[in-house]
Amino acid sequence: MLVVQPAGTVSAKDLPNHLAAGARVEPVDVSYPYASLAPIACVAFSPDGTQVLTGHLDTTARLLNGRTGSLLRIFHGHTNRVRSVAFSRDGRQVLTGSWDGTTGVWEAASGKEIARLISCSDGEDWLVVTPDGYFDGCPGGIKLLTLLRPGSNQMLSAAEKAKYHRLDLVERALQGQ
């Protein structure tokens, strides 16, 4: 929450207009309700300014109400620090980037993970996978992928693997599908 003098609250979207009009911005201690949380590494505001997304050094991201600061949801799934966060243009998805080499794409409203983009081979190759097991990637990334039958250690055949390979997966994930 940004407090603007003489009185009121302003969204991140309107901040440049208020500053141009001579408004003063008072710093707000956002750590007060969350003093026990891991330090915040990055912050993003939703396109409409009503929500704040924070990335933390404890491998999580948190979605907050931009007016009250109340916690709306926590995004779990990274294995290292979250170093970048962003909203999609329409605010329906959030993205979280981590030092673990992955980027998570999530539904903002539910917290459900839509897809995970994975950097492989020091960034030369990539994969995208969904919680349902669908995948796409560059040829080098796909070669690194091993798919197992659910509940077993048996590898999928080439024909079975082809059923899960979706060439439009990145586009669909970024559209929230």
Taking alpha carbons only, the member of 103, 84, 106 closest to residue 94 is 106
Tokens encoding 67: 């007016």
Distances in Å between the alpha carbon of 44 and those of 84, 86, 91, 123, 147?
9, 6, 11, 25, 35
Distance, CA of 118 to chain centre:
13
Residue 89 lies in a domain: no
Q: Are 66 and 46 in contact (CB under 8 A)?
A: yes
Model's pTM, two decimal places? Answer: 0.73
Residue 163 lies in a domain: yes
Residue 38 lies in a domain: no
Kindly report the average pLDDT of the chain as a whole number.
80
> For 22-67, how does the pLDDT look when each residue is reduced to its tens digit (9 = 90+)?
544 444 444 435 545 678 899 999 999 999 999 999 999 999 998 8
Residue 93 lies in a domain: no
Residue 129 lies in a domain: yes
Residue 131 lies in a domain: yes
pLDDT confidence of 91, banded at 50, 70, 90? Answer: very high
Residue 79 lies in a domain: no
The helix or strand, by DSSP H or E, that contains position 125, with its residue range, turns out to be strand 125-129
Residue 7 lies in a domain: no
- Domains of the chain: total: 1
Domain hosting residue 157, numbered range = 124-177
Stretch 12-20: mean pLDDT, rounded? Answer: 51
Stretch 106-123: mean pLDDT, rounded? Answer: 90
